[in-house]
Amino acid sequence: MRKLFIILIIFLHQEIVNAKSNADTSILIQASWQIGDSHHYRLTLNREKTEDGKISKFTSYYDIVLKVTAIQDSNYIIEWKYRNIKSQESGKNPLADKLAKITEDVPIRYTTDRKGRFLQLINWMEIRDQIFKAADKITNDRPDKETEKTMTYLKGIYSSQKNIETLALADIRIFHAMYGYTFSAGRKDIYSSQLPNIYGGTPFFAQTMQTLVSINPALQTAEVKSQTTIDRKKSLNIITELTDQLQKQEKGSVQKDIRINIEDEATYIFHQESGWVKEAQFKRLIDTNELQNKDTYLLKEMNSPAHLKKQ
């Protein structure tokens, strides 16, 4: 009996130690990169849209190559390139194929802080010039009215710094979204954030809840999760104004329940030593009276999980 009692005490003590250890576990998602480090990813985008009762699905996939080109006192300079851009429509329309590939190997250069948080795009004019050059080449290769009209429209979009930042940085912002945050076991941290207003205008106030899912000592990885929803109390004025506008568009008929909902959910797995993303999945759900849209981004590491290759 005494021996059993001692074993029970030891067992309880170990459980208390383990519980305390888990409760105290926390991790800071932080970059620890070197000049010349490069990483290769495959990104798959699945888009499902329901509008007027009709469901459409679209899948695209492409490679992403990142390279650390410089390290300053407080910044990293990163070069991001797209390669092998394809979709389920590839091969069906030659002009569409050329448009899809127009951004391939165009360098997108931007800065992050030393924790890996995105700061700013630094070469939007270079991106504009390369897109213009590629568009002119397509026009020369296909001298018809449809091509000329399409390329003129494309150049109009890429003539604006704001448009270039919106288009070039969408995936980059998702990639860097978790850097700089501390995650703790058994704790849910809530932050103020924003969600885009799909009708234009002021973004919605939102709340983001972040949690530490697990740490894998054998693989030296950490998995974290983030969920973002509209803060309807803070966004009340925006929602009310938007509801009034939508009801007026119904040409006299009052639409009773205006439904506006946007949710983001993301899961990331990071290498603890280097801070590079190993895998990420990002989902955005948009649900309104007019449409339901679900975008799912799946980012997977393609090079060695242990060490980065130099290029």
User: Which tens digits make up the pLDDT trace of 258-280?
Assistant: 788 999 999 999 999 999 999 99
Rounded to the nearest integer, the mean pLDDT of the chain is: 86
Residues 242-252 have a mean pLDDT of 70
Residue 143, helix vs strand vs coil: coil
CA distance linking residue 277 with residue 66, whole number of Å: 11
For the chain, the distance separating the N- and C-terminal CA atoms, rounded to the nearest angstrom, is: 66
User: Which tens digits make up the pLDDT trace of 157-205?
Assistant: 999 999 999 999 999 999 999 999 999 988 999 999 999 888 878 899 9
| Sequence ranges of the domains in the chain | 36-176, 183-304
209 in Cβ contact with 189 (< 8 Å): yes
CA distance linking residue 260 with residue 275, whole number of Å: 36
- The pLDDT value recorded for residue 195 is 92
Angle, helices 124-141 vs 161-175, to 10°: value is 110
User: Which tens digits make up the pLDDT trace of 200-229?
Assistant: 788 999 999 999 999 999 999 999 999 999
Residues 239-244 have a mean pLDDT of 83
pLDDT band (50, 70, 90) for residue 52: confident
Burial class (CB in 10 A: 0-12, 13-18, 19+), 108: buried
Where on the phi/psi map is residue 179: left (φ > 0), alpha (ψ -120 to 50), or beta?
Answer: beta
- The pLDDT value recorded for residue 199 is 81
User: Which tens digits make up the pLDDT trace of 130-170?
Assistant: 999 999 999 998 888 888 999 999 999 999 999 999 999 99
Residue 34 has pLDDT above 70, yes or no: yes
Residues 49-53 have a mean pLDDT of 86
Burial class (CB in 10 A: 0-12, 13-18, 19+), 164: buried
CA distance linking residue 68 with residue 78, whole number of Å: 5
- Where is pLDDT greater, at 10 or 65? 65
- The pLDDT value recorded for residue 91 is 81
pLDDT band (50, 70, 90) for residue 253: low
- The pLDDT value recorded for residue 255 is 54
Return the amino acid letter for 59: T
Q: What is the pTM of this model?
A: 0.84
Residue 187, helix vs strand vs coil: coil
Give, in degrees to the nearest 5, the angle at Cα 151 between 150 and 156. 100
- The pLDDT value recorded for residue 63 is 95
- The pLDDT value recorded for residue 254 is 52
Residue 184, helix vs strand vs coil: strand
Residue spans of alpha helices (H) in the chain: 2-24, 94-100, 124-141, 145-157, 161-175, 236-248
E-state strands within the chain? 26-28, 37-51, 54-71, 75-87, 108-113, 118-121, 182-184, 188-195, 204-216, 221-230, 260-271, 277-288, 291-301, 309-310
CA distance linking residue 244 with residue 231, whole number of Å: 19
- The pLDDT value recorded for residue 24 is 54
